[in-house]
Structure 1
Amino acid sequence: MKFNYKLHRLCGASYGTPAATGSSLSSSSKGSNIVFTSDGNSVLSPVGNRIQVLDLLHHSCRTLPVEARSNIRRIALSPNDNRLLIVVDVNSYAMLVNYHRGVILHRFKFKRPVREMRFSPDGGKFAVSYGKFVQVWLTPGIRREFAPMVLHRKYTGLVGDVTTLDWSSDSSVLLAGGKDCQARVWTVDTVKGYEPWTLIGHKKPLIGVHFEDMRKTLAERDQFFVGSGNTGSSLTGKLVGRCYTVSQDGVICTRECRKEEEEASTSDETKIGSEGLGEDAIDFFSGGGEAAAFSTAKQTGEGSIDQAHALVNARWGTTSRHYFNANSSTQDVVSTSYSSAHSLLVVGFSTGLFGLYELPSLSNIHTLSLSHSTIGTVSINPSAEWLAFGCPKTQQLLIWEWRSEQYILKQSGHAYGMRCLAYSPDGIVVCTGGEDGTVKLWNSQSGFCYVTLPKSHTAAITAVEFANPTVVLSSSLDGTVRAHDLHRYRNFKTYTSDIPCQFLSMAVDKSGEVVCAGSAEPFRICVWSVQTGRLTDVLTGHMGPVASLAFHPVRGSLFLAPELMTGMTFQASASWDGTIKVWDLYKSNSTPETFESGADVVCVAFRPDGSQVCSGTIRGLLRFWNVEDGSLVCEIDGQKDIKGGRKMNDRTTADNNASSRYFTSIAYSADGSCLLAGGNSKYVCIYEISQQILLKKFQISFNRSLDGVLDELHSKNLGDGGPLDDEHDSADESNNVTPHLPGAKRADDGSRKSRVEVLTMQVAFSPTGREWSTVSGEGLHVYSLDEDMIFDPMALTEAVTPSAVQANIRKGKYGMALLMSLHLNEFALVKSVIEDTPYESICTVVRSIGQEHLSQLIQFLSKCMEDSPHVEYYLQWCLELLQTHGLFMEKNRGKYLRSFRALFRVVQSRYVDLKAICDDNKYSLDFLNSQANLLLGRQE
C-alpha cells in the first residue's frame, strides 16, 4: 500500500475564510480578491490560507500545493504568461510562487498592512499599498537570485491608508486612492516637469480608482474639447488622459486630464530626448544616466509619447459626477472592477446587489441581487463575458455571464462548517453533513457541490451514510433520521423515535434494509426498517450516550460504543460506562456481549472482512478486538502521535492538553492492513496494525489564523490575564471599529469573535483506496495518490518518425513503437504497430502506456476492431487494459467515458454478430454430430 498521499483539493469552501458558530470574523470583513487568468478560463480564489483554481471550461477545481502563514488578504497574478503569483496574508507575510509548478520561490514580509496589490500591464513591475504609501517593486526574472525582490520606488502624498490603486495601459502612470477621500497620480519613472496631482471631491473613502485605456483616450483627444459647456469643467485643451474614482457612498467622478493646444502642439513637434534632464538631475532621481535617459524619453510602440510624458504641464479636472445610490441611501459600495478595453464597470454593494455600467456615460446595463450578504469582491475576465463575485460572510463564489443572464458557477459550503462525511460505493460522490443542518453532495472528481438536498434537518447533522448508491441517510440533533432519494433529490422518508431525543450516531446494514441510530439521552438505540419506516426495536442497556455505531460488514451484527460527546446540549458525565456491546438484531431478548475498555469509548470501526474491530478511548488508546472470541488482539498508544496545538485561551501547554490526545474517528483501509485515525488535533495518523507502528502523520493545516495550530504561544501575546486575542485576522480594521456612543464609557454592541479550531471531525477511506478524506473547520480535505500533472517522457521531436517506429518493431521494442505512433497520431501507423505486437507481449505493452495516452489508445482500438477478423486478439487488448488501468479509469470515468463507450459499442456489435453466426452453426454442428454417431453405430 502506498502512503505518499498529497492534498488534492479542498472541497466545501470556494471562497473566503472558515467561520465558526457565532463568529463575526467574516461578517464585517471585505474579504480577499478573486483573480482571472490571462485567458479568462480559470479563476483563482483564496480559501483560508490556500488558493483554489477553478477551471470554468472543464468544470473542475484543484488546490495549489502552497500554504500561507495565515488567511490570505490579497493575491496578484502576472499578466500574459501567468508565470508568477504573489500572495499576501493578513499579517503582511508574502510569498512569491511559480503558478504553473506550484512552488514557493521566495518569502518576504511587508512591514505595513497591504490592502491592495496589482501587477503592471506589461508585467515588469507590481505595486502594493504600504500603509499610507505605495511601493513599486520590480518583477523577479526567470533566473535564480539570492534576493529577487528589488524595490523600485516608494510613493507618498496620501494622508490616509491606501485602499485601491490602478496602472495606466502603458505601465507608466500609477493612480491610488485612500481613506482620506483623495486620489493621487504619480509617474512610475522620473519625468522632467511633472508634479504629482491630488484629485479631491469625495466625502467617503475611495473603493476603486480606474484608468481609461490610453489608446482609446488618445483616439478621442481630437473629438473632445472641454469648452463645449456640457461637461461642467473649466478646463480647455486636448484630452490626454481619463480616470474614474468611486467612493464608498456611491459617488463616481470622471476625471480628465487636458493640455492647452499650444503646449500640446509644441510637445508633439518636439523631438524626444530634447527635453531630457540634466546629468545632475538624472543621477539624483534615477542613480544612472542610461536608465534615467530611458525613463525620460520613453516611447510607445507606435512612436508616440507615453502617457507619463503626455501628462507634463497638463491639468486634471472633474468633468462629471454620478450617483449609484440615487434611490437608496442604505447601501454602500464595497468593491469595483473595471475593464478598460470594453469600458465596463462592475460594482458590488453591501446589500448583495451588483450593477454593470458602461463608462463614461454610466449607462446601467445590468443589475441583479445575488445574495443577502455583502459582495466583498468583484472581478471581470479579460473578454468581459464573465463576472466573478465573492461573499465573505456566506463564503459564496458566483460566476455570472451577463449576456445570457445565467450562472456559470455557483458554489457555497456549509454555513457553520462540516461535521460528517460518507463516500458512495463507487467513490465518485461524497456526501457531507453540516452544522447548519444541510446535506450536500460533492463530485470527488471535479470538487464541486452539485446538489444541496432540500428539506434537510433543523439542527446539526451528526452522521450520514449511503444505504445504496441512490439513497442517503442522515441523522441529526433534531431527533430525526431522514432518507434522501438521489434520483429526484427529495426526502422520501423520515424516521422518528417514540420519545424526543437527540441522535449522535447512525449506521446502516450492508443490504440497506435496517438503519439504527444512537441517542444522547435516553441512552438507547432505535432500529427502523428502511422500506416501511417503522420503529422495529429499541435496544437499551448502556449507561451513557451512544457515540458510534457500526454494522458487521458480513454478518450484519450491530456494534456500538457509548460516550458523551463534548459540547452536546444534554450531558451526564456520570453515565460514561466505557463498554462496547455486540447486539444480535434478529434475536429477541438476547443479551448483548460486552467488552470492557476501561475508559470512555469515542469511536469504533470494523475491519472489511469483519474478523476484527477497533475502538478508540479518551486515553488515546486504539484497541483491536477479535470478534469471534472477544479477546484483545493488540493496543496502540497514540497519545504522543495525536497531541499538538495550543489554543489561545488554554492555560496549559500543548503537552498537558488532554482534549487533543485521543482519536474521535477511525477508518480501516480497503485491505484491512492499515488504520486511519483523526481527532481533536491538527494531525491525522496512519497506523500499520500488524506491526503496531505509525506509518505517516499528516498535518491538515498550517494556517495560523486557526486555533490550535501553534504548539507554543509567543510571549508578546501573553498578558497578565492570559493570552491576548489576535486582531489581525480582519481584512479591514476600520469596518470592525464600533463607534462610541455619547455618555458610554466603552462601546460594546454585544458581538463576539471566536477562532475556528483546527480538528478532524471524521475520516474516511475511498472505496477505490486511492484517496482518503477528512472533515475539518476549513472544509473537506481530499488527499489522493493521483497527480493532476502528468509527465510525458517522450516529446514529439525530429527523432519520432514512421521509420523509427518500424525500426523499434524490428528490434522488438513494441512499447516504444506504440508510444511513438500515438504521438504521431496516424491511424494506419498505430494499427500496424498494434497488429504486429505478439499475443504474449500485449500485457507488457499495455503496462508501458501512461495515463496521458489511455483515451487515445482506446479510441484507436475501437476503430481497428470494427472491421478486423482478429476478434480474440483485440479482446485480449481490451482485457489487459481493464485489468491494468481499470481502477484509474473508474475513478476518472468522466475523462474516459466517451472513448470507453465507443469501445463498448464495437465489442457489443461484434458479440451480436458472432452470436448470430454461432446460433446458425449450432444446428449444422448438431446434424453433423448426429450423422457421425449413425455412421459409428453402423460400423459397430
Structure 2
Amino acid sequence: MKFNYKLHRLCGASYGTPSATGSNQLASTSKGSNIVFTRDGNSVLSPVANRVQVLDLLQHSCRTLPVEARSNIRRIALSPDDRLLIIVDVNYHAMLINYHRGVVLHRFKFKKPVRVMSFSPNGAKFAVSFGKLVQVWHTPGIRREFAPMILHRKYSGLVGDVTTLDWSSDSTVLLAGGKDCQARVWTVDTVRDYQPWTLVGHKKPLIGVHFESRDKTLAERDQFFGGTGNTGSTLTGKLIARCYTVSQDGVICTRECRKQDEDVGDEVDEVTGLESLGNSAVDFFSGGKSGTASDLPVECGVDQAHDLVNCRWGTTSRHYFSANSSTQDVVSTSYSAEHSLLVVGFSTGLFGLYELPSMSNIHTLSLSHSTIGTVSINPSAEWLAFGCPKTQQLLIWEWRSETYILKQSGHAYGMRCLAYSPDGIVVATGGEDGTIKLWNSQSGFCYVTMPKTHTAACTAVEFANPTVVLSSSLDGTVRAHDLHRYRNFKTYTSDIPCQFISMAVDKSGEVVCAGSAEPFRICVWSVQTGKLTDVLSGHMGPVSGLAFHPVRGTLASSSWDGTCKVWDLYKSDSTPETFENSNDVVCVAFRPDGNQICSGTIRGLLRFWDVDDGSLVCEIDGQKDIKGGRKMNDRTTSDNNASSRYFTSITYSADGTCLLAGGNSKYVCIYEISQQILLKKFQISFNRSLDGVLDELNSKNLGDGGPVDDEHDSADEGNDLAPHLPGAKRADDGTRKSRVEVLTTQVAFSPTGREWSTVSGEGLHVYSLDDDLIFDPMALTEAVTPGAVQANLRKRKYGMALLMSLHLNKYALVKSVIEDTPYDSIATVVRSIGQEHVGNLIQFISKAMEDSPHIEYYLQWCLELLQTHGLLMERHRGKYLRAFRALFRVVQSRYVDLKSICDDNKYSLDFLESQAKLLFTQETQT
C-alpha cells in the first residue's frame, strides 16, 4: 500500500474563513480577502483560511496550492505575467511564491497591517499599504535569493490609514486613498518640480481609486478637440490624466488633471538635464531602468509622471450610486481601465456594473443577503467575481449573457460528516445547518445542495446505493434522498422522540439503523417500506457508533457505557455478543472481510477483536501519537493535556491491513494492524488562527487573567460598518467570537484506495496519492527523429518506437508504428506506455481504426489499453473522457457496420443453403 498522500483540494470553502464545526464555537468574523484573476482570465485565485484555491473556469476543476500561510490570509497579489504570488496574512507575515510550481521563495514580515497590495502594470514593482504610508518594493526575481525584497520608497501625506490604491497604465504614477476621505497622487520616481496632489471632497472613507487608461485619455482628447482646447468640462487646459474616487457612502467623483496652454511649450525642457541622472540613481537595483514600459504610448517623448508637472487637478463630476446611503454602503470596487467598466459591491448584497465616465448603469443585481466583501473583473471584462465573507460564497457572473459561470458555497456552520459513493466519484457531506451537499471528488465542486429538510444538525450520511443517500439528524429523523430527482422521498422516525447520533446501512441497502443519545437504543427500519421493524435495547449509554458486517446481517454498535455489541438482526431471540472495554467507546468499524472489529475509546486506545470467538487480538495506544496542540485557554502544556486527545472516527483500508483514524486532534494517523505500528500521520492544518495548532504558546501573550488573544484581524482592521449601539461610545454590535478548534469529526477511505478524506473546521480535506511527478524516460531531443523510429522498428524495439512517435506527434508515423507492431507484442507495448501518453495514444487509435480493415487487430489494442490503464482512466475521468468517447464512438460505428455485413452474409448463406437443399431434393426425386 502506498502512503505518499498529499492534500489535493479543500472542498466546502471556496472563499473566506470557514465556519466552526462545534456548536459552542462561532465563525470568525473575518472581513475576507481579495479575489484575483490570472492573466488569461480563465482561472481565479481565491483565499480560503490560510490556503489559496485555484479554480479553473474552463476545465471546471479546483486545486489547492501546496503552501500554507501562518494565519488566515488577508491579501494576495499576482504579478501581471503570473509568475509570482504574494500572500499576506492577518498577522502581517508575507510569502513570496512561485505560482506555477507552488514553491515558497521567501518569507518576510511587514510591521503594520496590509489592507491593499497591487503589482504595477509592467510588473517591475509592487505597492502595499503600510498604515498611513504606502511602500513600493522592487519585484524579486523568480529564483531564490538571500535578500530578494528591496524597498524602493515610502510615500506619505495621508492622515488616515490607506484603504485603496491604484497604478497608472505606464506604472509611473501612484494613487492612494485612505480613511481620512482623501486621495493622494505621487510619482513613483523622482520628477523635478512635481509636487504631490491631495484630492478632497468626500465625506466618508475611500473604498476605491482608479486611474483611467492613458490611451483612452489621449484618444478622447485628440479625437474631439484636436489636442489643443479644453474638453467641455469646467476645467480649462489640456487633458493629461483622469481618475475616479469612490467613497463608502456611494459617491464617485471624476477627477481630471489639466495643463494650461501657456505651459505646453515648456514640456520638453522639463525632463532634460539632471532629471535623467536622478531616475537612473533611484532605479539602480532594477538594472538602471525606470519604472516605465518603453512600449506604452507617451506624449512628447515623456511618461505620464512628467506630464503631471505644473498641472492642476480638479473635480469635474460627482455621481451617487444610491439615494439612501445610510442603509447601503459601498464595500468593494473593481475597475477595468481597458474597457472603462466599474464594478461596485454593496453591503446589502447588491452589485452594480457601470460604464465610465458617463456612469451608465449596465447591470444591477442582488447576489446575496450578506455583504459583498470583494469584487474582481477579469482582463477581458467578461466575467465578474464576487466574494461574500460571511457566507463563504464565491460567484462568477458573466454579465453579457447574465448567467452564472460558477456559484459555490459551503455549509452555513461547518461540516460534520461525509460518505463516499460506491464508485468513489461523489462525496456526500452533512453540515451543522442540516443540509446535504454532493461534491465531485475529481473537480472539487459542489454540484447539488439538497433541499433543506432537517431542522437540526446532520450527524451521519451513508449511501444505500449509488442513487440513494441516507442522513440522520439531531431532529430525530433519518431521511432518504433521491439522487435522480434530488428530493427527500422517505422519512424514518422513531416511536418516541429522540436524537440520532449514529447511523449505518447494510450492504444490500435494504435495512437502515440509527443509534440515539437518549433513550439508549437502536432503531431499525426497512428502506423500502419505511416501517420501524425492530428496536434494539441493551446499552446503558448513548450509542456513539454503528457498523454493518460486510457479508452477514450482523450489526456492531459502540456506546458510552464502555461496551461494543454485535447484534443478529435476523434472529429475534438471539442475545447480542458483548465486548467489554475499560473506557467509553466512541467509534467502531468492521474489517472489509468481516472477521475483525476495531473499537476506539476516549483514552485513545484502539482495540481489535476477533468476531468468531470474541477474543482480543491486539491493542494500539494512539494517545501519544495524536497528542499535541495547546489551546488558548489551556492551563497545562500539550504534553500534560493528552487526556482529551482520542479518536472519534476510524475506517479500514480496502485490503484491511491498515487503519485510518482521526479525532480530537490536529493529526490523522494511519496504523499497520498486524505490526501495531504507526505508518504515517498527517497534520490537518498549520493555521495559527485556529485553536490548538501550536504546541507551545508565547509567554508574552500570557497575562494575569490567562492567555491574551493576539489576533490582529479584528483589532487592527476594524469594522467600519459595525453599528453603533445607543449610548455606546465605541462600535460594538454585541457579538462575541471564539477560535475554531482544529480537529477532525470523520475520516473515510475512497473505495478505489487512491484517496481519503476528512472533515474538519476548515471543510472537506481530500488527500490523494501524489501523481504530479510523472517520470518520462524520453525527452524530445535531436535524437528523436522519424529515422530513429524506423530504426527501432527494424530492431524490433516496438515500445521505444511508439514512444518516439508519440513525442513527435505525427499521425502517419504513429499509425505506421501501431500497424507494424506484431499481434503478440501489443500487451507488452501497451504496458510500456506511461500515463502521460495514454490520452494521445487513444486518440490516434480511434482515428486509425475509423477507416482501417484490421478491426480485430485494433480491438486488441483497445482491450489491452482498458485492461492496463482502465483504473487510471476511471480515476482521472475528466482528463481522458474526450479520448474515451472518441474511441467508443469509433468502436460502436465499426460494430454497426460489421453487424450489418454479418447479417447480410448470414442471410445469403441461409438462402444458398435453402437453394442447395431444394436442388438436392429435386435431383433425388428425378
SS in 1 for 2:804: helix
SS in 1 for 2:241: strand
State yes or no: 1:425 paired with 2:409.
no
SS in 2 for 1:875: helix
The aligned residue for residue 847 of structure 2 is 863
**Closer/same/farther in 2, CA of residues 912 and 298 from structure 1, 3 Å limit:** closer
| RMSD of Structure 2 on Structure 1 (CA) | 2.8
**Closer/same/farther in 2, CA of residues 637 and 22 from structure 1, 3 Å limit:** closer
Distance in 2 of aligned mates of 1:731 and 1:844: 66
**Closer/same/farther in 2, CA of residues 258 and 664 from structure 1, 3 Å limit:** same
CA contact (8 A) 1:770 1:786 kept: no
Shift of the alpha carbon at 1:402?
0.5
Shift of the alpha carbon at 1:221?
3.0
CA contact (8 A) 2:464 2:509 kept: yes
**Closer/same/farther in 2, CA of residues 732 and 36 from structure 1, 3 Å limit:** farther
State yes or no: 1:686 paired with 2:673.
no
Distance in 1 of aligned mates of 2:94 and 2:500: 45
Shift of the alpha carbon at 1:77?
0.4
The aligned residue for residue 921 of structure 2 is none
Distance in 2 of aligned mates of 1:640 and 1:751: 37
**Closer/same/farther in 2, CA of residues 83 and 195 from structure 1, 3 Å limit:** same
The aligned residue for residue 47 of structure 1 is 48
**Closer/same/farther in 2, CA of residues 636 and 277 from structure 1, 3 Å limit:** same
**Closer/same/farther in 2, CA of residues 915 and 403 from structure 1, 3 Å limit:** closer
SS in 1 for 2:369: coil
Shift of the alpha carbon at 1:860?
2.2
Distance in 2 of aligned mates of 1:762 and 1:85: 33
The aligned residue for residue 376 of structure 1 is 373
State yes or no: 1:488 paired with 2:489.
no
Letter in 1 for 2:719: N
The aligned residue for residue 403 of structure 2 is 406
Shift of the alpha carbon at 1:47?
0.2
The aligned residue for residue 616 of structure 2 is 632
Q: How does 1:182-193 map to 2 (within 5 A)?
A: 182-193=182-193
The aligned residue for residue 433 of structure 2 is 436
CA contact (8 A) 1:24 1:751 kept: no
The aligned residue for residue 572 of structure 1 is none
The aligned residue for residue 172 of structure 2 is 172
- 1:167-212 deviation line (CA, Å, top 9, x unaligned): 0000000001111111100000000010111111111111000001
Distance in 2 of aligned mates of 1:299 and 1:559: 73
The aligned residue for residue 642 of structure 1 is 626
- 1:305-329 deviation line (CA, Å, top 9, x unaligned): 1000000010111111111122453
The aligned residue for residue 892 of structure 1 is 876
Q: Give the one of 737, 759, 778 matched to 1:775.
A: 759
**Closer/same/farther in 2, CA of residues 226 and 131 from structure 1, 3 Å limit:** farther
Shift of the alpha carbon at 1:598?
1.5
Shift of the alpha carbon at 1:891?
1.5
State yes or no: 1:595 paired with 2:615.
no
CA contact (8 A) 2:91 2:711 kept: no
CA contact (8 A) 1:26 1:730 kept: no
Letter in 2 for 1:454: P
**Closer/same/farther in 2, CA of residues 371 and 806 from structure 1, 3 Å limit:** same
Distance in 1 of aligned mates of 2:289 and 2:763: 54
Letter in 2 for 1:286: V
Compute the TM-score of the two structures, normalised by the length of structure 1.
Answer: 0.92
**Closer/same/farther in 2, CA of residues 292 and 441 from structure 1, 3 Å limit:** closer
The aligned residue for residue 604 of structure 2 is 620
The aligned residue for residue 306 of structure 1 is 303
SS in 2 for 1:681: coil
The aligned residue for residue 351 of structure 1 is 348
Shift of the alpha carbon at 1:294?
5.7
Distance in 2 of aligned mates of 1:391 and 1:562: 41
**Closer/same/farther in 2, CA of residues 340 and 24 from structure 1, 3 Å limit:** farther
Shift of the alpha carbon at 1:518?
0.4
Letter in 2 for 1:276: L
The aligned residue for residue 936 of structure 1 is none
CA contact (8 A) 1:642 1:660 kept: no
Shift of the alpha carbon at 1:364?
0.7
The aligned residue for residue 555 of structure 1 is 552
State yes or no: 1:730 paired with 2:729.
no
The aligned residue for residue 221 of structure 2 is 221
The aligned residue for residue 515 of structure 1 is 512
Shift of the alpha carbon at 1:298?
8.4
Distance in 2 of aligned mates of 1:746 and 1:314: 42
**Closer/same/farther in 2, CA of residues 744 and 346 from structure 1, 3 Å limit:** closer
The aligned residue for residue 750 of structure 1 is 734
CA contact (8 A) 2:28 2:739 kept: no
The aligned residue for residue 714 of structure 1 is 698
**Closer/same/farther in 2, CA of residues 515 and 699 from structure 1, 3 Å limit:** same
Distance in 2 of aligned mates of 1:616 and 1:697: 17
- 1:513-559 deviation line (CA, Å, top 9, x unaligned): 00000000000000000001011110000001111110000112111
Distance in 2 of aligned mates of 1:454 and 1:733: 37
Distance in 2 of aligned mates of 1:257 and 1:379: 27
CA contact (8 A) 2:98 2:142 kept: no
CA contact (8 A) 2:416 2:745 kept: yes
The aligned residue for residue 87 of structure 2 is 87
The aligned residue for residue 76 of structure 2 is 75
- 1:407-451 deviation line (CA, Å, top 9, x unaligned): 000000001110000000000100000000000000111100001
Distance in 2 of aligned mates of 1:745 and 1:763: 48
**Closer/same/farther in 2, CA of residues 829 and 747 from structure 1, 3 Å limit:** closer
Q: Give the one of 389, 393, 398 matched to 1:392.
A: 389
Q: Which moved more, 1:744-753 or 1:628-637?
A: 744-753
Shift of the alpha carbon at 1:712?
1.2
The aligned residue for residue 286 of structure 1 is 282
Letter in 1 for 2:874: E
CA contact (8 A) 1:190 1:295 kept: no
SS in 2 for 1:506: strand
SS in 1 for 2:428: strand
Q: How does 1:563-582 map to 2 (within 5 A)?
A: 563=560, 577-582=561-566
CA contact (8 A) 2:34 2:47 kept: yes
Q: Give the one of 776, 796, 801 matched to 1:812.
A: 796
CA contact (8 A) 1:625 1:633 kept: yes
The aligned residue for residue 658 of structure 2 is 674
The aligned residue for residue 566 of structure 1 is none
Distance in 2 of aligned mates of 1:676 and 1:736: 46
Compute the TM-score of the two structures, normalised by the length of structure 2.
Answer: 0.93
CA contact (8 A) 1:75 1:86 kept: yes
Shift of the alpha carbon at 1:865?
3.5
Distance in 2 of aligned mates of 1:98 and 1:63: 14
The runs of 5 or more residues in structure 2 that have no matched partner are 918-926
State yes or no: 1:364 paired with 2:361.
yes
CA contact (8 A) 2:84 2:142 kept: no
Letter in 2 for 1:846: V
Distance in 1 of aligned mates of 2:284 and 2:549: 79
State yes or no: 1:150 paired with 2:146.
no
Distance in 2 of aligned mates of 1:583 and 1:791: 51
CA contact (8 A) 2:429 2:438 kept: yes
Letter in 1 for 2:340: S
Distance in 2 of aligned mates of 1:871 and 1:71: 59
Letter in 1 for 2:461: V
The aligned residue for residue 100 of structure 1 is 100
Shift of the alpha carbon at 1:753?
0.7
- 1:681-705 deviation line (CA, Å, top 9, x unaligned): 1100111111111111100100000
Distance in 2 of aligned mates of 1:22 and 1:265: 72
Shift of the alpha carbon at 1:746?
8.2
CA contact (8 A) 1:117 1:127 kept: yes
Letter in 2 for 1:754: S
The aligned residue for residue 461 of structure 2 is 464
Letter in 1 for 2:33: S
Distance in 1 of aligned mates of 2:317 and 2:117: 28
Letter in 1 for 2:274: G
The aligned residue for residue 923 of structure 2 is none
CA contact (8 A) 1:30 1:377 kept: no
SS in 1 for 2:712: coil
